[in-house]
Chain A
């Protein structure tokens, strides 16, 4: 459903992605792995129209995503959860969630009440400024905010970074729930164990290009790739 071919991306003059190819099928969880700085975040941002890019990105049968503006891409059904979370600190939790809603789909997969049922903590704090939430709560809030927009595919950048183990478990559970509701996931995840556990397929990136693709089982068996591209 999402197919990226020969994607190049640039920050000003610096050329960061050198022809990335990847594919995410309907209802799949696909992880993008690699060391820091190899271009995983940039790949997601380029798909979302947030950095200038060249190449082809096709989504749900239309291959003209490159060059569209981020809001046009979002309205096509792509969701984005950035690694810095980018919650809106001065407005309330509820308002943060309201902003996620695009206000046009008749029967969205997710409603505000769903979110509050999944994370009672967000309901308790619905009317406080989002800036005072803990790191874990903020992470849940960003995920929920994007889900309320009812994306068909959601791209999530390092959702477990800096979270306590208990919360990491909750995030993993939410990812599975997202998949159960028929939403595809393109995930950037630093914690290899989790990524291998929940993904259907994985890509490993190195220096702005994909250097390995396969199933989690294939990656587990491939010591060379793990040593060369993932070991820290």
Chain B
């Protein structure tokens, strides 16, 4: 029971983090028709920027500054890069974002090196928040969830209650028509791209220290986020939300279940070769591929994803 609750909480907090990434990616994809391969690179930039800023002035300023900076970088990349490539069609756009992902990775290698940096949870949040049966649930996890939920609320509010949100929702189906009605759609694209990058960066700021901040983090998270939006249905925010939580929880359970199997074996005093073999084969090898298995199943039985509209 304790194991179940803790894993569920961890799974949800991871899932919310995935949604911070997949929501931006989904919005960018449905508005601009670009699958941004570099999206997770902005997640990584967020983590590294936060690391750098927090060594200078602490975690709290980093929490605000890093996403803002990355948002500005993202907006500029849209304005001066992607927009120019756009007129040559979708394939060059895809190649552009692909190249961008490599470029960002190389820049990270260059500045911060190839191994993980020591980006840590702030001391103010490094304590147990509440008791889950026998163990303390870490406050930082609670903080992650709070930030994610606040962001989710802000995103929902912006999309449903503001004029720019209305323009974004309309542009999801007929961007040209929105522009012909007198709205500066290219500027809205830039804001959405920058905003999506800022969201990804925020996920990096709060996730980079909970997990690891290293050059491989972009590729690792990027492929999961890709799975999320395929499973949720390309272009569907609600689908991305459900898929984020589902994959967050499934993966957390898969990993955790395995550890606990080993632990259980250990507890009963069975530490032999066989125990280790059984304990590790079962799920730990499956955990990383589980999302992909889910994706393949979805692609077979429901190619447009959970809530997607078009068949892609």
Contacts and interface: CB of A to CB of B under 8 A. Distances in A.
B166 A95 contact: yes
A63 interface: no
Interface stretch (B66-74, B140-148, B178-186, B277-285): B178-186
Contacts of A90: 169, 172-173
Given A82-B177, A86-B177, A71 B184 contact: yes
Contacts of B182: 71, 74-75, 102, 149
B179 A86 contact: no
B174 A86 contact: yes
Given A90-B169, A91-B169, A100 B181 contact: yes
A145 interface: yes
Contacts, number: 61
A71 B178 CA distance: 8
A70 B169 contact: no
A99 B183 contact: yes
B176 A88 contact: no
A88 B169 contact: yes
* Band of interface residues on A: 20 to 34
Interface residues of B, number: 19
B192 to A, nearest CB: 16
Given A89-B173, A90-B173, A99 B186 contact: no
Contacts of B173: 86, 88-90
Given A69-B186, A71-B185, A99 B170 contact: yes
Nearest to A148: B181
A80 interface: yes
Nearest to A104: B182
18 contacts: A48-B180, A69-B179, A69-B184, A70-B180, A71-B180, A71-B183, A71-B185, A74-B181, A74-B182, A75-B182, A88-B170, A95-B169, A95-B170, A99-B170, A102-B181, A103-B163, A146-B181, A149-B181
Interface of A: 48, 50, 69-71, 73-75, 80, 82, 86, 88-91, 95-96, 98-100, 102-103, 145-146, 149
Interface of B: 163, 166-167, 169-170, 172-174, 176-186
Given A69-B184, A71-B184, A99-B178, 6 more contacts: A48-B180, A69-B179, A100-B181, A102-B181, A103-B163, A149-B182
